[in-house]
Structures are given as C-alpha cells and as structure tokens.
Amino acid sequence: MNFLSKYILLIAACFVGIGFSAYMGFSLYEKESKVIEQDFRKDVDDKAAALEREILLNIEVLYAIKGLFDSSSEVTSQEFSRIARSFLVRHHDIQALEWVPKVTSDQREAFEAAQRRESPGFEIIESEVEGMISASQRESYFPVSYVAPFIGNEQILGYDLASNEERLWIMERATDLDKPLSTSGVSLSSYQSKQRGFIIFLPTYHGEPSTLFKRREQLRGFVVGVYRIDDMFGSAIKRTSVQGLYFSLEDNTYETVSNLYSNFPEGGTTLLSQTAFIYKKSLTAFSGRQWSITAVPSAGYVAERRGRLPYIIAILGSLLVLLGALYIYALMRRSALIEREVKQRTHDLNEAKQKLEALSQTDSLTKISNRRCFDESLQACWQHAIREKSSIGLIMIDIDHFKLYNDTYGHLAGDQCLREVASALNQTLNRKTDLVARYGGEEFVVLLPHTRDCISPAKRCQINIEQLALPHESSPTSEYVTVSVGVTSICPDKCSDMQAFTAEADRALYQAKKSGRNRVQVFEHERTEQAVAVVNQA
C-alpha cells in the first residue's frame, strides 16, 4: 500500500469517525426536535382550545340576552343595558352588544318617534361615501335600537344593518336556520375601534315558529354581538401559561382565505420559510364560520427547550477522532517526507523530459512547431478523421523569392523575416486545434482539422503576411514580402493515402508559384489528380 493510499484511508477513517459522531449528535438532536414539536403542538392546541372556549362563552352571552327577549314582550333600554353591562364587565373582547328589531316600512315612522323619547334625534340611517344618511325606502329595516356600552358606540345607534348586503344575507340565513351566524372579518371603524372584528347575529321570534315560513313571518329581531378579534385572541392566550409562540388566525369558510389576526414580527413570511415547526390547526366550526390557526415558535421558545447533549456528543466524538488521526499522522510523517522527496525528484525529471520533448518538436528559429511535430500531428489527425468521418484541411505556404531576399538583405534579416512570417501565421488562426509548423527552409504548413473550406484561412494568412509590409526590393512580384499558398482538403477513409494528401498541397503550391506567385491555389479532386483551381490573387 503506497503512502497516498495510507493518507486516503486515514482521512476516510477520520471522516467516518466524525460523521458517526455527527450522526449520533444529529440523532439526539432529531429526537429532541420531535419532543419540542410535540410540546409545541400541545401548547398550540391548548391555546386553540382556550380561543374556542372564549368564542363559545361570547355566544352564550347572546343566548342569555336572547332569553331576556324571549321571556318579555317589551324590553326597555334600561333592562337591556343592565344585563349587557353584567357581561361586558367579564368579557373585555366585546366591542358592543346590540338589540336590532325588525321594523317594516309601515312601522318606521312610529318606531322612530318611540325611539326619540329616549334618544332625541333618533332616525334609521345607512352608510354612504359621504357618511351616515337617512335610510332609503325599503320593505323592512333592522336598525340598532339598543347598544351597550353606549359611550364609544353612539354613532351606530339607528344604523340599519340591512343596508349592508353581506350582513342582510347573513341575517336571512340565521332567520331560516334559527341559529347564530357570524360575518367574516370586518373593520370596526364605525365603532371607533382600530381593530378588526366579527359580528354574530342571533335571531329572536314571536312565539316558537317551527317551519321556515313561520320563522320569516314571526321574526322579531336579532341579538347582535360585535367582537374585537385582537382582544379575544389576546384574552385566550393570557389564559395559557406558555409564551413565545407566533400565531396567525385565518377564516377558511370559503375558498378565499381571509387573515383575521397575526402577531408575527416583521418579516413573518421569512419566519415561516426558516422555521422547522409550522402547525396549522382547524378550530371547531361556530356560527357558520370555519377558522384555523397557523402557529410557529419563536427562537427563544425553541432555544429554552434545547439541551446541550447533542452538541457535546458531536464535538467530543469529533475531537477524539481528530486526536487519533493526528497521532497516526505523526507516525506516518517521516515516510510522507521521504515520499514527497521522491515525488519532487520524479517531477523534476518529468519536467526536464517535457522540456526536451518540447524542444524536439519546436523550430529553434521561429519558435513554432517543426517538421517532426507536424508529421506526428498529421498522423494523429488523419486517424481521428477516419474514425469520426471528418475532414482535414492542409495549407502549404512558401515565401516568394526568399533567396533573393537573403542575397539582398543578408541572412540575419532573412531569419528575422522567417520569424515575423511565422508569428503572423500563428496569430491568424483562432482555433486551438489548428497547427502552424515550419516545413523546411522558407516553407510553412498549416494543419486544419474538421475543415473543408480552407480558402478563407489561406487568404487570411496571405493578407496578414502582406500587411507586415516587409520590404523586398529585389522581388519581381511585389515591393513587399509575399507568399504563394497551396490548399487542399479531404475527408479520409481507410483507403486514403496520407502521403498523396500532402503531395496534393505541394502540387497546389507549385502551381501557385508557376502561375505568378503571390496567390492562393486550391487542389481540385473532381477531374484529375493534376487539376488545380486558381483563387483570386490577393
């Protein structure tokens, strides 16, 4: 087993040990979380039960007041206020208790006159954009006749609840069912309260009607309770000992969910997405409404129920594993140092080998690939093209009248010319797979894998070399250094001859020189092996 394998085994054993310690700690953490979640759900259930009791107690208040009207054909405002005050003292979440009689259009004038004896200026009113106005003519009215407490709710006196379509519909259903029914969450601004609330209507009748028709016929009015949701929820929470929970109260009676109350801090949506404990509980249906509570614990609630044992086990276990790993590491250190020394020497040898290989494949003058590198690359590219059934392009380039250039400017200038031409060719090609090599003397070759159209890169090579503007006064072709270019391409198969392919490019180059130089020639395969097409002179 080599040193690397030993280190891998040591690290693996270390990770396994730390992982096992973390797993044990996490298992205890999960068990603890389940216990916390059970306690959390129980606490929420307790608060939900307290809220349900509070709602039922408030409904019982309406039944108690209904009993007063059922037992007497005439209930005065003093009697109503006296019994209402006895309940208001104990139920601080009640905004108002109201008596709302049914008044037909024929009875309206007499009813308003009777009410003015106790409340001067009384009239049946309804709400409009500009405020309270006298109620318009309709078949029947349901005005607020008695309200307790009176202070703070004065402006609601005389308000016709039938002027609101939703409340009228609820009153009609309550009449038909002979059951208390509640509105959805409503604003209590008309009661001079900033809280949201809900209103419960409990119908009373003349006598004891037993059929739907008789209930509508004998409807006397409604005992109405107006409740503040925030105070009701707060009262229910205070009756339980556990704190540190966030609640949201929703009305799920219909498809559209309405939020009635929330004590979430700012960023409540973020809180819901981050906590692991979210509990939604549906309350017992009441007065035709279905409410539900969504609860999440605060960070403090969870923290005070968390123990340290899971963290201690995870940390101590990990420390023991690390100490053991360090001890083994100390034993292996000497052999590791020797191994690193061997690797360093091997690396130096390999680096020297790579440099030698690079030197053997690089032209010493132009610093581009040499003939050997080209031959090896062509062989590899040829085999790859046969396997992949792809094409290869080959460009051969010769500097025009280079011997005259050397005779005119000297061999040092000739060497510099070769370097600049090689650099221009290298910069012309954009793909990493393309190869520029010095083929010999003043000849260069360009290998283009996966290329059929070699004319465009060939012309770019010709143009870029001419743009170097290297003076060549002795050239009969141009006053600057120019090149002749031979181009060919092939999609080889197993029967193709690589040497013949190279010869095709060489023939095209020969034809370019024969045709006057400073031009690109493409070898044609279609008619004869000797056919050559002339491309526009650059």
**Which are the catalytic amino acids?**
442
| Dihedral pair phi/psi, residue 427, rounded to 5° | -80, -20
Half-sphere exposure of 365 (CA within 13 A, CB side): 21
**Tokens 């298992």 belong to residue:** 27
Half-sphere exposure of 150 (CA within 13 A, CB side): 11
Distance CA 455, CA 360 (A): 31
Residue 64 near residue 70 (C-beta atoms within 8 A): no
Half-sphere exposure of 176 (CA within 13 A, CB side): 7
Q: What tokens appear for 478 in the block?
A: 């141009």
Residue 436 near residue 444 (C-beta atoms within 8 A): yes
First to last CA, the chain: 66
**Tokens 């020394």 belong to residue:** 341
Q: What tokens appear for 448 in the block?
A: 């283009």
Residue 130, sorted as left (phi over 0), alpha (psi -120 to 50) or beta, turns out to be alpha
Neighbours of 154 (CB within 10 A): 12
Q: What tokens appear for 311 in the block?
A: 């963290």
> Which of 116, 261, 254 shows the shortest CA–CA distance to 183?
254
User: Which residues in 319-403 belong to E strands, given as ranges?
Assistant: 392-399
What long-range pairs does 51-57 form, CB within 8 A, spacing at least 24? Answer: 51/232, 51/233, 51/236, 51/283, 51/293, 52/283, 52/284, 52/286, 53/236, 54/93, 54/232, 54/235, 54/236, 54/239, 55/232, 55/283, 55/286, 56/286, 57/91
> Which of 479, 486, 536, 481 shows the shortest CA–CA distance to 513?
486
Query: Strands across the sheet with 435-440, in order?
Result: 435-440, 443-449, 392-399, 483-490, 520-523, 532-534
Taking each continuous run of H as one helix and of E as one strand, the counts in the chain are 14, 20
